[in-house]
Amino acid sequence: MRSVLVLGGTGEARRLADVLSAVPRLRTVSSLAGRVAQPALPSGEVRTGGFGGADGLAAWLRDEGIDLVVDATHPFASGMTASAAEAAARTGVPLLVLRRPGWHPVEGDRWHWAADVAEAVRMLPDLGSRVFLTTGRQTIGEFAHLDDLWFLARSVDAPAPPVPRGLHVVLDRGPFTFDGELALMREHGVDVLVTKDSGGPMTSAKLAASRALSLPVLLVRRPALPEGLPVVSTVEEAAAWVRGS
């Protein structure tokens, strides 16, 4: 019996856990951060909550006899990825990163890139005044001082203060459709979209809707991965790695 830890919270992580749970003599444990009140649960064992940094994760890997780790967290979960890389190096447990490809502009897109959320905050007032903000509830507070702007924010759970004075929150979970995004933007008179380069099809409809409305899009670039980590972009590649390791 071998054991694999899937650092999850994404659609790819859930699909990977579904595949691996059907592999004979393989124990699959998915770890969720616990930031969403009612997460979509994967197959197999599930643990919720942080590990306590690289030290805690390394100890947990040893205690649980984990043979392999797949980091299938969100592309912006840089802290978890850094801890996973350090813990894997300390314990000698092989680590694979599963990351969906980022988005790429096509004809008609009006994209502006920010290095991080802080830069996006500085750039935003020059791009619009009625903002569709989809960078996640944990970043909404960074926009709280922009009193001259109105925000439509979408997240799975309600954001905690501080929040912008002019804020309307929509609680929803993807995948989203082009027609739905188009209608939402028109209903609220949105004139700029702010989002992260999360990649994948579940939330890409907002980009197509922005293109159709000729709206500027302010995208936050992904944080860089630690050097030297093996990376794949599909669930199938990650499953093959686990089977062959």
Q: Would you give the DSSP letter of residue 223?
A: P
The token pair that represents 170 in the structure block: 């929509």
Question: What's the pLDDT at 37?
Answer: 59
The reported pTM is: 0.89
Predicted pLDDT of residue 157: 87
Give backbone dihedrals phi and psi of 21, rounded to 5 degrees, phi first. -65, -20
> Which residues, listed in sequence order, are joined to residue 134 by a DSSP beta bridge?
195
CA angle 24–90–30, rounded 5-degree value:
35
Helices of type H across 65-172 = 78-91, 117-123
Q: Is the pLDDT of residue 68 over 90?
A: yes
SS3 call for 181: helix
Q: Is residue 47 within 8 Å of residue 32, measured between CB atoms?
A: yes
The token duo for 85 is 């890389």
Architecture of the 2-101+224-244 domain: 3-Layer(aba) Sandwich (3.40)
Find how far residue 16's CA is from the centre of its chain.
16
Location of each CATH 3.40.50.720 domain in the chain? 2-101+224-244, 110-220
Q: In 3-state terms, what secondary structure has residue 35?
A: coil
Both tokens of 174, joined, read 């993807």
- In 3D, which of 34, 35, 44, 38 has the Cα closest to residue 5? 44
* Contact in structure between 75 and 222 (CB atoms under 8 Å): yes
- Percent of the chain at pLDDT > 70 equals 98
Q: Would you place residue 202 in the very low, low, confident or very high pLDDT band (cuts 50, 70, 90)?
A: confident
User: Do the Cβ atoms of 232 and 96 come closer than 8 Å?
Assistant: yes
Fold for the domain defined by 110-220: Rossmann fold (3.40.50)
Checking if the pLDDT of 36 tops 70, the result is no
**Gap between the Cα atoms of 132 and 151, Å rounded:** 6
